[in-house]
Chain A
Amino acid sequence: EPEVTQTPSHQVTQMGQEVILRCVPISNHLYFYWYRQILGQKVEFLVSFYNNEISEKSEIFDDQFSVERPDGSNFTLKIRSTKLEDSAMYFCASKETEEEKLFFGSGTQLSVL
């Protein structure tokens, strides 16, 4: 079964550093999302991306965050200057149409020291 893949599985960085989290959505999918989950808490929406532009973003997704689909397969989340509170599991997700269920990757655990 096709799956969403994310790299790296773990990322440790120093506060203030830039990180890029990478995702390869399922190939025929058109809608892309980033979510995050702080340890022990619920999964929170960050941003949705469709037709090469952000369609919606949450309050969490401030100017430090950006997303990009640089080619036909990758979908990246960049955090420009990481803060301690950015430590979380970040999930990429995709779907074929707006109506279909969302498929999640296995996540990148980001630790900001």
Chain B
Amino acid sequence: GESVGLHLPTLSVQEGDNSIINCAYSNSASDYFIWYKQESGKGPQFIIDIRSNMDKRQGQRVTVLLNKTVKHLSLQIAATQPGDSAVYFCAEKGSWGKLQFGAGTQVVVTP
């Protein structure tokens, strides 16, 4: 079936370094993708989104890259901070605006 999934379950990164979180999707018709951050005990928080007519979008310290050729999505976090420690989910928009989430990547920022 069609699915969205993440390559790495855990990413350990040193404070100040850049983080890259990867996500593969299988539905080539998907036209909208979104990254969420989930801290322990909280709901998913929007980070950044991208439509399929773009291949890059930048926010504050974050960049999302979309490679439709290989159906790959990535989230880059610049100068990772302790507050960035969380689980990161990619998701794609389906019918009625629902989101289908990937498995999540735990990012651990070490001092």
Q: List residues of chain A with CB under 8 Å of any chain B CB.
A: 4, 31, 33, 41-45, 48, 50, 55-56, 91, 93, 95, 97-107
Contact = CB atoms under 8 A, between A and B. Distances in A.
B104 A95 contact: no
A101 B101 contact: no
Contacts of A98: 96-97
B69 interface: no
Contacts of B38: 43
Given A43-B101, A44-B101, A104-B44, 10 more contacts: A42-B89, A42-B102, A43-B38, A45-B99, A45-B100, A99-B32, A101-B46, A101-B49, A103-B46, A106-B41
Interface string B45-60: 1100100000000000
Nearest to A45: B98
Interface residues of B, number: 24
Contact of A91 (B32, B44, B98, B100): B44
Contact of A101 (B34, B102, B103): B34
Most chain A CB within a 10 A radius of its CB, from B41, B43, B104: B43
B99 A102 contact: yes
Given A42-B89, A42-B104, A101-B34, A95 B97 contact: yes
A91 B104 CA distance: 16
B42 A107 contact: yes
Nearest to B48: A101
A48 B44 contact: no
Contact of A43 (B42, B44, B46): B44
B104 A107 contact: no
Given A43-B89, A55-B96, A56-B96, A105 B101 contact: no
Contacts of B96: 31, 48, 50, 55-56, 98
